[in-house]
Structure 1
């Protein structure tokens, strides 16, 4: 049975979500692009060795390659046509570095308005690229409610005023266009190139600095100490709404009044610190150093 026939038969019997089915189809198409629509009993280890080698030369990531191979292998096995895929590529460890808000802000200033709004939503909500593309916003919303395409979990997330102000009708472009514009913007701003996954990481990191547990929450996980049953009685996202005013906006997206208020708040805080005695200032410094790691 050919690979395309295996996928067609799988689509007829599977009960998985539509989004998952689209992902399976995309990964089958990737394998077929490199191997051809071969019968499963003709596919050898040498086929997959050449596939991995050529895909790397075509600048595909190791994760993309191995996800495709793994999914195709599992579907073929489930449909009664197992294939040998050989030794997987050794995946690189995740990069722990987080993009800075300063670099993110500098790149925003080089983007068209519609992409600024797109990235601003990603920054404050931590939503995945595909979920942001599915939104149809009017600019009046103070919150976003949606079911995540990958996990199926329902998210309810706040949109602060500075983000609402950026609203422009979203232009539906291909995925490649988004990345090309970001690449040009980062080059023009003189900052390192980043992907939309990096905006999600920046969002989670920023929320985590506001309060411990908010980082995992923005990524779709439970708050620490909550069981699977707790969300049936309490809304975990309510805490985000109470603290969204503490979420730092990119400076270029703030009004003069907001910048002035931020400066006044900082000066007032510094003034209060100056009023503390030496022992309390030392204690406060120790706490701050602990929070900064």
Structure 2
């Protein structure tokens, strides 16, 4: 396994490194890039990817796999979505999280407040000077993302179960292999801020497919989902003929169409009585 590191310096002079690993298979095949840790309160990807890399290093596979376990280590250190390098960082001491104040930001830069460019997942393949987060995305894009055939962007949201966000129908043949029950279609032509999303940019080339895994716990260790996430990656590699074996689906996979008029936070109600059999 080849290890590549690059040093960066924040606006306030702090030095740190970002790392990615490259594993080369025994035979030619697709290029798979897996990136996690863009948002610092989303811990599942940074925790499960070292385990997956160690496993893959001992397996016979085809193609090339690039893994960046944590693209935004200073945000991870703060347990916060982004790293506001030009702000008063001491304000993080006054921050606590609960699901009742999901959008609260101690710097007034939350998603309900503004469209901040501190958010790393709005900076992919975006020209301009966007500070250290932009430098990281520019480096990773050039090194491991721009020519990848498959990109998996690992995140966490707050929900009962994991899901996949997907902006383009062409990615569905890849997304279906993961075994994550809900593939939620998103706006294929969003406004400019959202076009800096890794999976939107990563889907633009003809032979490039990019989807977003969303695990189900933020600000915590969702250890119960680590094996589930590793199996989803194995499934995609099997489907792409990078690994031998069969795709393992424990549940059916459903596509949830994009509804431009829909409210994704709406409360669902039914006129019928009965029970819902719910699988976690």
TM-score by length of 2: 0.25
TM-score by length of 1: 0.25
Greater share of helix residues, 1 or 2? 1
Name the larger-Rg structure. 1
